[in-house]
């Protein structure tokens, strides 16, 4: 997964509760994304016969590769965010560990950008996949109409 280096100009101070809520939201979104990716694989499997047509083969092969890579990235993100959530105790343990707390906040900000970029990639993948399926369905419908004539 490629990430862009971004400079954050404005940083909102987040409480431990807000950071916990963020991580739980991210894990929920990633679980949903996992389900979506499985649906995409099943969708591709149901259109396998049409997608092996030379017209769409290279495009569909590329999309299958992107789905596999996205699944791997999704699993990696879930592991990273789960670990991050478990380390939240640094923020709430009533012990002054300023450098660890600062590192935790920096990691949280990095994860905000990482998750946002990942979900944008999933959205573009979804758009490309549905565009391809739409093309296949249009051609199939045209073929059936011509067969009736």
pLDDT one-digit tens code per residue, 8-22: 554 456 777 888 888
Which pLDDT band, with edges at 50, 70 and 90, does 62 fall under?
confident
- Coil, helix or strand for 60? helix
Spell 73-96 as b/e; 16+ CB within 10 A means b.
bbeebbebbeebbeebeebeeeee
Position 10 scores a pLDDT of 46
What share of the chain has pLDDT > 90, as a percent? 36
Measure the CA–CA gap between 149 and 138, rounded to whole angstroms: 17
């Amino acid at each position: 997964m490629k990430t862009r280096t971004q400079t954050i100009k404005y940083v909102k101070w987040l409480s431990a509760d807000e950071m916990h809520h963020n991580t739980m939201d991210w894990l929920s979104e990633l679980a949903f994304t996992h389900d979506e990716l499985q649906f995409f694989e099943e969708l591709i499997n149901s259109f396998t016969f049409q997608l092996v047509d030379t017209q769409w083969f290279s495009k569909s092969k590329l999309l299958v590769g992107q789905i596999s890579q996205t699944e791997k990235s999704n699993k990696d993100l879930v592991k990273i965010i789960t670990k991050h959530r478990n380390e939240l105790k640094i923020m709430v343990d009533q012990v002054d560990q300023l450098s660890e707390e600062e590192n935790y906040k920096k990691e949280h900000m990095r994860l905000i950008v990482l998750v946002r970029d990942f979900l944008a990639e999933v959205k573009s993948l979804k758009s490309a996949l549905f565009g391809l399926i739409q093309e296949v369905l249009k051609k199939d419908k045209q073929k059936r109409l011509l067969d009736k004539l």
